[in-house]
Amino acid sequence: MDLRKLRNNFLIPITLLLFLTIGYLVIAITNGGQVRAIVSQEPIYDNYTTDMMGYLKTYYLIKKDMPFYQAYALGEIGDAAGDSYPGEIWGWKTPFLFYLWKIFPGKDGKSIYWFFTCLVLLVPLTSYLIAKELVGQKLACLSSFLVWPYFLLPLKEITFIQVEWWALIFFLLGFYFLLKEKVLWTTLFFSFTLFARELFAVHLLSLFIVLLITKKRKMIISILLPFLFISLFYLFVHMPNVDQYEDLSILSHWWRISPKAINIFSSWKYVRTTLAFNSHNYLLVSLFPFRVSLIFSSLALFFLNSKRKSAKYLLFLASFLPFFIFQFKPGMMTIYHDYWGIYYVPLTLISLPAAVYALLVYFKLK
């Protein structure tokens, strides 16, 4: 083995990943001070109006050993915008993240921030490892570079408490282990994903369908078990506890459709906001970078699958395209759902180097 060649091959990726990782840490230390100051204090009832502050209030109540569902209910009605519960089963978060925050060392909300920062530090490496399975080592660094700015927002604003950010990182870890066909670790991180935010079930269902189609039966269990765990939890823990506060059907929200929101054009009005969310950290914002990443990633993966017939291309497509389409469900999207870009846009960015790889395949350079 040529050790000099091996060293040179890994020198650039390691240097870039180290640079990006340290960059996150520097941003957290220099730009996160105001956020840490806010979360270091327990929110006062009727003095906050955002979900994030409601989650923070829940955390502080749990730190005082209040049961989760009682704490969450108080956090919800403490919102100055209205003394009411979520009104839908999906609005009641599961206890998983809140107890995870509680057991992490620290006495106040700053510990949640540093916990999140630790997870974000994994993003450059995880993105690289995922992309390496798709486009190889030389192009994989592009994925880390492209997705890096997307995670600047939660390091600088209180949005880091939004459960979607946490679920996304768990999903990225699970997706990597899925590509490596590691059943135990895939099951673990996909379970974390669903318990952090159940809406990632759209992603897991899409991956499950691909595994069935491509006869990757070994990994199917790593999708089925998380679904089983979350289903049992909902039936025997979550819904009985929520029923103490609201009489909700598990499907109640999904069948409420406004007559004004039936056509696809009204849905696009809101879906496009998810493709604009957090784009201010990217150059050439006026050129709609996330629309570009969605289109080119999708086309490249379709092309590569037609040429190579490999399950990995379909798995990458399943990680973001079905959710994008799912958003067009009539009556579901509102102006408040722009943050749903978190669910799929970073995955289009990680997949975007496939466009370069597709060109190399087209010109028979790969």
- What are the pLDDT digits (tens) for 177-235? 999 999 999 999 999 999 999 999 999 999 999 999 998 888 999 999 999 999 999 99
pLDDT beyond 60 at 256:
no
Question: Nearest-CA neighbor of 115 among 51, 73, 170?
Answer: 170
Question: Nearest-CA neighbor of 124 among 15, 203, 279?
Answer: 15
Q: In this predicted structure, which of 2-11, 43-52, 76-85, 160-169 has the lowest mean pLDDT? A: 2-11
13 vs 16: CA distance, rounded Å: 5
- Average confidence score pLDDT of the chain: 92
What is the structure's pLDDT at 5? Answer: 56
Tokens 């009489």 appear where? Answer: 247
What is the structure's pLDDT at 83? Answer: 76
38 vs 36: CA distance, rounded Å: 5
* CB-CB neighbours of 46 under 10 Å: 12
137 vs 9: CA distance, rounded Å: 9
84: which DSSP letter? -
Q: How confident is the model at residue 84 (pLDDT cuts 50, 70, 90)?
A: confident
8 vs 148: CA distance, rounded Å: 24
pLDDT beyond 70 at 238:
yes
Q: How confident is the model at residue 1 (pLDDT cuts 50, 70, 90)?
A: very low
What is the structure's pLDDT at 364? Answer: 84
With a pLDDT cut of 90, the percent of the chain lying above it is 80
Rounded mean pLDDT of 286-315? 95
CB 277 within 8 A of CB 338: yes
Q: In this predicted structure, which of 211-225, 232-246, 272-286 has the lowest mean pLDDT? A: 272-286
Q: How confident is the model at residue 291 (pLDDT cuts 50, 70, 90)?
A: very high
pLDDT beyond 90 at 106:
yes
